[in-house]
Amino acid sequence: MADAPTPVMFAIVTTRKESVSGGMAPIFIAEDDQERERIAMWLTRITNAIVHDLHNGTLILTVNQGG
């Protein structure tokens, strides 16, 4: 089903680095919310990944495989 994409974690952008650890995606640590959003926006423009807000100071970027 090409219509139902499978999201794969691509990157993590956070201001609270103690809330994330390990895994397959690189973690970008930002000083404040503004920088976090700037990094996330740049990453999404470059990689076509989708930004999601986890509401705990962390943004995740996912890429749809086969979407």
**Would you tell me which residues interact with another protein (CB under 8 A)?**
1-4, 37, 40-41, 44-46, 48-53, 55, 59-60, 64
Nearest distance, CB of residue 9 and another protein, angstroms = 13
Nearest distance, CB of residue 18 and another protein, angstroms = 21
Measured from the CB atom, is 20 or 49 closer to another protein?
Answer: 49
CA distance 37 to 67: 25
Measured from the CB atom, is 17 or 62 closer to another protein?
Answer: 62
DSSP 56: S
CA distance 3 to 52: 20
Q: How many CB atoms are closer than 10 A to CB 43?
A: 19
Phi, psi of 31 (to 5 degrees): -70, -45
Measured from the CB atom, is 2 or 24 closer to another protein?
Answer: 2
